[in-house]
Amino acid sequence: MKIFNCETGMKKLVSIGGALLLSGLMLAPMSSLFAVQGMGAKSQEAFLRMRTVTFFDTRFSFTPNNRVKVGDEFTCTGKVMLMPTWPQEIPFSGISFFNFFVPGPQVLRKAIFVNEKYFQFNSVVLEKGGVYEYKMINQARTPGIWPVGPMVSMEEAGPFIGPEEFLTIEGSTGGFTNPVKTLLGNTIDLENYGEGRMIAWTLLTTAIAVVWLVYWCSKPFTRRLGLVAAGRKEDLFSPMDRQVCFLFTIGTIVLVAAAAMITRAQYPITIPIQETKYYVKPLPPEPALIQAEVTDATYDVPGRTLSFHLQVKNIGDKPVVLKEFLTANVRFLNPDVPGNTWNENYPEVNGGPMKVTPSEPINPGETKTLEVSMQSAEWENQRLTMYHESTNRFGGLLFFTDTSGTRQVFAIADQIVIPKFGATIGGGM
């Protein structure tokens, strides 16, 4: 009878498959090992990114060089607005956490302040329509190039992601410490506090378990099936086996009790995990310069142009201009406003110019209908064209300023936009 050496055959197949995969891996280009990509916000639907939490006035203290050393602190500041009309499709629980995106603790979060004075530790309860200011203080920890940025996480809804920057952290982690003073008066290093103790107890309890297992598994194992079936108890256990069993059982209980009591004596003052939620009031509303309403909106697909009519009434006492539209971390600046140019410190995406017709300021008491038009490849690059989605309503923030520099942020929360798939429309409707 032929003896089939299937084991070798199986191994050959696995070897070939594995070799193919490995060679595929090795042929992959190894250059730009540290050229890091973004945070993955683009996978979220356009309507979610445009109509829920909008980040504005975002600044990172390390721009424009984007370089820090291990141990350096840096800040990220800005504001968020929770849209006053929240999409029905996205759950709104209000329970939120001002968060920071970084792939792992490559930077440490040292502090987050909300509305200047409030230090956020536990999660906060936010309101629809509220504007909140944040200041995040972080510390660089691990060398590399990392995408970083602010975010707000909301329970049930998920992450809302702000603008990102790529931060280069130079240096080495050797010698990095994270000292903290406890209420008991001692200073500890969070990088390795309690680690030696944890490892020692782990090794001790594991060693006892391993000895127990080795003791039993060193006896012939399979034949015990036969001994049990035959009822040969005397061949299954020796008197020493029973003694070992009692020793390990009682001894383990005594060891655990003793270790717990010793630990209690070593750490007489302890507190439980601290968990609560805080209600944070939004910032007071900005002075109202205008009243506005979007009357209609279209998106020209081939021309990649979002256009809308905006009826604006100036209810202030100074002329007002429309400076900017911001949505989903993309900014469109009105070039007709003097000095309104892109700054390299802006972490957002530059969507390009926003054309406003008529471009003259709106005088006090005047009501005008503005035609706002933004032609930009970023509608597609950032995946903000909505006609692929089940809801075709856009949102964003309009920034009006008057001649004294006072600003009003006006939210477009929930505006239907009709796509036009026909010929290119040049600059307006």
Nearer CB in complex with another protein: 20/418: 20
Q: How far is the CB of 157 from another protein (least distance, A)?
A: 6
Q: How far is the CB of 379 from another protein (least distance, A)?
A: 14
Q: Both tokens of residue 261? A: 């009591």
Backbone angles phi, psi at 209, to 5 degrees: -65, -40
Q: Out of 266, 341, 390, 404, name the contact with another protein by CB under 8 A.
A: 266
Long-range contacts of 185-189 (CB under 8 A, 24+ apart): none
By the rule CB under 8 A, 86 interacts with another protein = no
Q: Out of 73, 168, 245, 357, name the contact with another protein by CB under 8 A.
A: 245
Adjacent-strand bridge partners of 278: 124
Helix (H) or strand (E) holding 246: helix 239-266
Q: How far is Cα 322 from Cα 408, in angstroms, rounded to an integer?
A: 10
By the rule CB under 8 A, 7 interacts with another protein = yes
Q: How far is Cα 302 from Cα 299, in angstroms, rounded to an integer?
A: 9
Nearer CB in complex with another protein: 203/288: 203
Q: How far is the CB of 206 from another protein (least distance, A)?
A: 6
Nearest residue to 342 via CA among 308, 378, 311: 378
In the chain, the amino acid numbered 402 is D
Site residues (CB under 8 A) for another protein, limited to 350-409: 383
By the rule CB under 8 A, 240 interacts with another protein = no
Q: How far is the CB of 187 from another protein (least distance, A)?
A: 11
Q: Out of 159, 171, 319, 353, name the contact with another protein by CB under 8 A.
A: 159
Backbone angles phi, psi at 10, to 5 degrees: -60, -40
Site residues (CB under 8 A) for another protein, limited to 26-45: 28-30, 32-44
By the rule CB under 8 A, 4 interacts with another protein = yes
Q: How far is Cα 340 from Cα 92, in angstroms, rounded to an integer?
A: 35
Q: How far is Cα 9 from Cα 15, in angstroms, rounded to an integer?
A: 10
Query: Do residues 260 and 379 touch, judged by C-beta distance below 8 A?
Result: no
x-or-dash string of contact with another protein, 8-27, rule CB under 8 A: xxxx-xxx-xx-xxx-xx--
By the rule CB under 8 A, 254 interacts with another protein = no
Site residues (CB under 8 A) for another protein, limited to 197-236: 197-199, 201-202, 205-206, 208-210, 212-213, 216-217, 220-230, 232, 236
In the chain, helix, strand, coil percent, each to 5? 25, 35, 40
Please name the residues in contact with 204: beta carbons below 8 A apart, sequence gap of 6 or more. none
Q: How far is the CB of 258 from another protein (least distance, A)?
A: 10
Q: How far is Cα 293 from Cα 313, in angstroms, rounded to an integer?
A: 9
By the rule CB under 8 A, 311 interacts with another protein = no
Nearer CB in complex with another protein: 271/423: 271
Q: How far is the CB of 132 from another protein (least distance, A)?
A: 16
Nearer CB in complex with another protein: 251/302: 251
Q: How far is the CB of 255 from another protein (least distance, A)?
A: 7
| Helix, strand, or coil (residue 413) | strand
Site residues (CB under 8 A) for another protein, limited to 138-157: 141-142, 144, 146-147, 151, 153, 155-157
Helix (H) or strand (E) holding 393: strand 393-402
